[in-house]
Amino acid sequence: MKGLALETIAYFIIALVTIIIILTLIGTKLSPSIRNAYCSFVRGLRGLLPIPSYMKPPLPSYCQMEQITFKTEIIESNKASYVRDHLAAYIIACWETTGKLNVGQDKICYEVVLRNNLDIPLTENDVVSVLAQEGYENIMTWNRDNITEKGSIAISYNSTSKKIEVS
């Protein structure tokens, strides 16, 4: 009787490991609506594993999206070229953590605060050219006028258009 119980537990563990491996292999190909259920399942499964937390397998990167909060970045420079390069860097960083993974929900990545007026106007084409040099094309939607004055700029991911919005 005792052997039967241990054998059943062993089969259960093998089945559980097999399911985890299958879900891990197809996990990157899941649609955003199924992905949330998959992530909840994996989180629950990690919580049930009777091993120390440092030995538990890490969550896939798209399951860690709930931890992302927007950051406020302050730019003191009045040079349009400096602001252009930093805006492009923030757009790329936002794309890498949201758009590339197709997270399926809108996310605000950065609030960029300009402390000074710019020496020359900063246009959409200026930022697009830097993005193209870095190999990122057609990932941004510019929803504002040219940037000339101090103020706040939002960089966010729009899940409907699957692009980064600058507004």
Nearest to 83 by CA among 22, 13, 35, 146: 146
For residue 149, give the DSSP letter.
Answer: S
Tokens 């504002």 sit at which residue? 144
Residue 152: pLDDT band with limits 50, 70, 90:
very high
Give pLDDT tens digits for 127-145: 999 999 999 999 999 999 9
Query: Does residue 151 register a pLDDT over 60?
Result: yes
| Domain final residue, candidates 39, 63, 87 | 63
What is the total residue count of the chain? 167
- 56 and 86 in one domain? no
pLDDT at 79: 94
| 15 lies in the same domain as 92 | no
> What range does the domain containing 30 cover?
2-63
Domain co-membership, 73 together with 152: yes
Residues 80 and 161 in one domain: yes
Question: For residue 66, is pLDDT > 60?
Answer: no
Q: Under 8 Å CB-to-CB from 137, ≥6 apart: which residues?
A: 131
Q: Report pLDDT for 77.
A: 92
Cα dihedral sign, 100-101-106-111: negative
Which of 18, 29, 60 has its CA nearest to residue 42?
Answer: 60
Calpha distance 166→147 (Å, rounded): 11
111 and 142, same structural domain? yes
**Residue 115 and residue 122 in contact, taking contact as beta carbons nearer than 8 Å:** no
Segment 3-7 shows an average pLDDT of 70
Nearest partner of 81 among 130, 35, 37, judged by Cα: 130
pLDDT at 50: 74
On the question of pLDDT at 95 being above 80, the answer is: yes
Q: Which of 29, 63, 97 is the last residue of a domain?
A: 63
95 plus 49 within the same structural domain: no
Q: Is the pLDDT of residue 32 over 70?
A: no
Write down the pLDDT at residue 28.
55
